[in-house]
Amino acid sequence: MAARPSLASLITRVRTLIDDNATTKTFTDDEVQAALDNWRTDVRYLELRPAETRTASGVEYRDYYAPCGDWEADAVLYDSGYATLTPTTSEYQAGHWAFTTGVTPPVYIVGKTFDVYAAAADLLEAWVARLKAAYDFSADGASYSRSQQVETLLQLASDYRRRQRPATARQLRGDVA
């Protein structure tokens, strides 16, 4: 199965985060896509925040922003009548869409957004699992330390875990009515 073309820029971004851009890659595009899909949020008709643009004739709303970034490139925008809108600029990583002329709010988005830091941390931990047989050794008076690669990958994964989107869980107490 080939990775979705609309996810290409996010796959590249995650590869950059984990430094997996060598000629021989550690992970396939499908593996990176699977890690991203584990941290995907499907969004249905989220109202975008308009930003006003002052013109000679008054105020227009040309720019719209999502509360988060890292959108898959197949996101679709709709106006208040649910007609499809075509922006002139789509910045999926930043969550920003712009139009040449004003579009009356509200503008809604339907699409998928991803936690690239959580996906990167998952891939780094998987990389460590692949290196579990790495060991340090000495030969001919030289010392070779492969285990430091594991330590470095785990430290980077830990850094990305701190940057991933917060998650919430609802807890119910059985002892309180």
Residues 58 and 28 in one domain: no
Quote the pTM value. Answer: 0.86
* pLDDT over 90 percentage in the chain: 76
Q: Which of 114, 139, 157 is the last residue in one of the domains?
A: 114
Dist CA 70 CA 13 (whole Å): 10
Range of the domain at 123: 1-39+115-166
Long-range contacts made by residues 8-17, C-beta under 8 angstroms, separation at least 24?
A: 8/73, 9/73, 9/92, 9/93, 10/36, 10/70, 10/72, 10/114, 10/116, 11/36, 13/70, 13/93, 13/116, 14/116, 14/119, 14/120, 14/123, 17/116, 17/117, 17/120, 17/160
**What is the pLDDT, as a whole number, of residue 167?**
84
The DSSP symbol for 170 reads -
Number of domains in the chain: 2
- pLDDT at residue 69 greater than cutoff 90: yes
Q: Judge whether 151 lies within some domain.
A: yes
Among 107, 97, 109, 99, smallest CA distance to 60 is for 99
Q: Judge whether 176 lies within some domain.
A: no
Residues 49 and 15 in one domain: no
List, for residues 153-175, the tens digit of each pLDDT value: 999 999 999 999 998 888 888 88
Residues 57 and 120 in one domain: no
Residues 121 and 132 in one domain: yes
Q: Judge whether 47 lies within some domain.
A: yes
Residues 50 and 34 in one domain: no
pLDDT, greater one: 130 or 92: 92
Task: Identify the helix (H) or strand (E) that includes residue 24.
Answer: none
Q: Which of 94, 114, 134 is the last residue in one of the domains?
A: 114
Q: Judge whether 173 lies within some domain.
A: no
Q: Judge whether 76 lies within some domain.
A: yes
Residues 53 and 104 in one domain: yes
Dist CA 117 CA 34 (whole Å): 14
Residues 11 and 51 in one domain: no
Cα-Cα-Cα-Cα dihedral of 27, 72, 122, 162, to 10°?
Answer: 140
Q: Judge whether 140 lies within some domain.
A: yes
Type of residue numbered 35: A
List, for residues 128-147, the tens digit of each pLDDT value: 998 877 666 777 777 777 67
The DSSP symbol for 142 reads E
